[in-house]
Amino acid sequence: MRSNFKTAIQTFGRSLLLPIGIMAPVGMIMGVMGAFTQSYMIETFPMLGNETLQTILSSAQQISSVIFNNIPILFAMGVAYGMSKHEKGIAVFSSMISYLTLLMVMNVYLTVTGTMAEPEVMGEVGQAVVLGIQTIRIDVAGGIIAGLLAAFVTDRYYRLRLPLAFAFFSGKKSVLILTFLYTIPIGLVIPFIWSLFTNLLIFISPILMNEPFGPGIYWLLNRALIPLGLHHVLASVVRFTEAGGVYMIEGIQQVGILNAMNQVLFDLGPTHESWGRIMPVISPYLAGGQMLNTLFRVPAIGLAMYHSAFAKNKKIAKGVILTIVLTAFLGNITEPLEFSFMFISPLLYLLYIVLVGITTIPLGLLDISIGYIRGTIFDFGIFGLLYADTGWLNLIIVGIINFVVFYFVFKYVIKKFNITTPGREEENRDVTLLNEKQYDKIAAIVVQALGGKENIIHVDNCVSRLRIDLKDQDKFDEKIIKQSGSSGFFFPKKRHIHVVFGPHVEFVRNEIDDYLKK
């Protein structure tokens, strides 16, 4: 029972990555467009003042904003897709039915109870107009509730058989009807429990949002939860709920750090008073904190690993380490590096998460206002250099200190305790197939290592890992899996294995799916 609950939470965490996946690149587009339409930027580069160019830039920003104006819908569809085991398309369709029904049920509740607020004050009492419906503002939580309900109803009733007289409404059609009906009582209950939930999040908010220790506490917990796959859940709670604080901007309450940043970064800009008041507070929880990891700590750890590698292995280790460092530097994926020592040396990983927490604290003391949610070098260029008053130089100073600390600590501990990080193994992995993108051959090796087609029950993946259920764990062959170029593997529970491939994982998974169908 406990194992099933843990698996469900991990699956839920992965499902949150779907909406984040579209928000990140579109956010970069909005960032560039937003920067180039700011008055201070036009004053600095007069060519940007061209009317046609400004029309194009502002139009592109408006088009991109449709994603951020409908974040709850994205989460409803993403959670429904990620959590459902069967008929994922029906689950996504049902999530929209549930979300729309939820909005209207709460609208009816407000009308019947006489608590419908006037337009000019509805923001102050937690109400908003969503898709043309004035309702209780539950933001992303509403989308998540709709997605979870749709996934549950789909998996339970997609094969429902009704009497012949009602056969037309059986199976998949019944899912749509039942989702609608299930949502009604939930929509009526939410107003009663929402205030309690809000109070709980507000209660823990001072811990996570503490100045100046909050960013350190948050990133320590974030890195500590990676092995469980729950760091995405923590991030979403802080980004979209009262746990991340409630901010009054232009007379409107913004719940969570990402909603606040979206308005300040994309709508108001550095000349608005909220930039200096809010951005330094929330930036360390988003791109600011992430950039310390991707641009400074990961390269430092990679360099420490390379300098700690055995001489005979340095050539191969160099390619492996450079790949995982660039994966973080360019793509914001740090798991390949973290998994390269996480299970080899729990002591080293414990040291890692503690150092992450401690060395993030300075971000809460300095005036750093760099947007957005990722931490790549591209984000630094767009949101750090193109925008005014970001304090990017302070981030570099803190980053250099982080680099030095992580490099020397990791190099010392790796050698002191003879930890088998990349380049220190007796057998080093061959990444030729990965570098040549021969994913079909990799898939064949993985299937063979897992005991063949008949031993594989289910294949899934997250950002960096294959997640596979096996019939017989004893049939797994550790020597064969090394031939695939995987950077590591582990069994989080009996008959369930994780195999780390970093950014290659989705391509490997697709080839495995094709291989299993042959």
Helix (H) or strand (E) holding 496: strand 496-500
Do 100 and 131 form a contact (C-beta atoms < 8 A)? yes
Q: Over pLDDT 70: what percentage of the chain?
A: 94
Please tell me the predicted confidence (pLDDT) of residue 427: 56
pLDDT digits (tens, 9 = 90+) for 430-487: 778 888 889 999 999 999 999 999 999 989 887 678 889 999 999 999 889 888 888 7
Helix (H) or strand (E) holding 351: helix 346-360
Please tell me the predicted confidence (pLDDT) of residue 362: 94
Under the banding of pLDDT at 50, 70 and 90, the label for residue 426 is: low
Given a cut of 70, is residue 315 above it in pLDDT? yes
Residue 518 is classified by DSSP as -
Please tell me the predicted confidence (pLDDT) of residue 355: 96
Please tell me the predicted confidence (pLDDT) of residue 24: 65
Please tell me the predicted confidence (pLDDT) of residue 13: 67
In a 13 Å sphere around the CA of 354, the CA atoms on its Cβ side amount to: 8
CA distances from 453 to 182, 441, 445, 512 (A): 39, 15, 11, 10
Under the banding of pLDDT at 50, 70 and 90, the label for residue 423 is: confident
Under the banding of pLDDT at 50, 70 and 90, the label for residue 10 is: low
* Both tokens assigned to 311: 């001489």
Burial of 409 (0-12, 13-18, 19+ CB in 10 A): middle
pLDDT digits (tens, 9 = 90+) for 148-182: 999 999 999 988 888 877 778 788 889 999 999 99
Do 466 and 459 form a contact (C-beta atoms < 8 A)? yes
pLDDT digits (tens, 9 = 90+) for 247-305: 999 888 898 999 999 999 988 889 899 999 999 999 999 999 999 999 999 999 999 99
Helix (H) or strand (E) holding 470: strand 465-470
Phi-psi region of 254 (alpha: psi -120 to 50; beta: other; left: phi over 0): beta
Average pLDDT of the residues of the chain: 86
Please tell me the predicted confidence (pLDDT) of residue 6: 63
Please tell me the predicted confidence (pLDDT) of residue 361: 95
132: number of Cβ within 10 Å:
6
Given a cut of 70, is residue 507 above it in pLDDT? yes
pLDDT (mean) for 366-380? 87
Please tell me the predicted confidence (pLDDT) of residue 415: 92
What is the C-alpha separation between 160 and 3, in angstroms, rounded?
Answer: 28
Please tell me the predicted confidence (pLDDT) of residue 137: 80
Which residue's entry shows tokens 């108001």? 268
What is the C-alpha separation between 27 and 33, in angstroms, rounded?
Answer: 10
Q: Considering only 129-143, 281-295, 424-438, 493-507, which range has the smallest mean pLDDT? A: 424-438
Please tell me the predicted confidence (pLDDT) of residue 293: 94
| CATH architecture of the domain covering 432-517 | 2-Layer Sandwich (3.30)
Given a cut of 90, is residue 197 above it in pLDDT? no
Kindly list the domain boundaries of the chain, sorted by start residue: 2-204, 221-272, 284-416, 432-517
Smallest Cα–Cα separation from 5: which of 229, 204, 285? 229
Name which residue leads in pLDDT, 287 or 240.
287
Contacts of 403 (CB under 8 A, 6+ apart): 296, 297, 299, 300
Q: Which residues pair with 458 in a beta bridge?
A: 469
pLDDT digits (tens, 9 = 90+) for 98-123: 999 999 999 999 999 998 988 877 76
Please tell me the predicted confidence (pLDDT) of residue 93: 96
Q: Which residues pair with 249 in a beta bridge?
A: 252
In sign, the C-alpha dihedral spanning 303, 304, 307, 310 is: negative
Do 371 and 284 form a contact (C-beta atoms < 8 A)? no
pLDDT digits (tens, 9 = 90+) for 16-55: 767 877 776 777 787 778 778 877 778 778 898 899 999 9
Please tell me the predicted confidence (pLDDT) of residue 464: 74
Name which residue leads in pLDDT, 78 or 14.
78
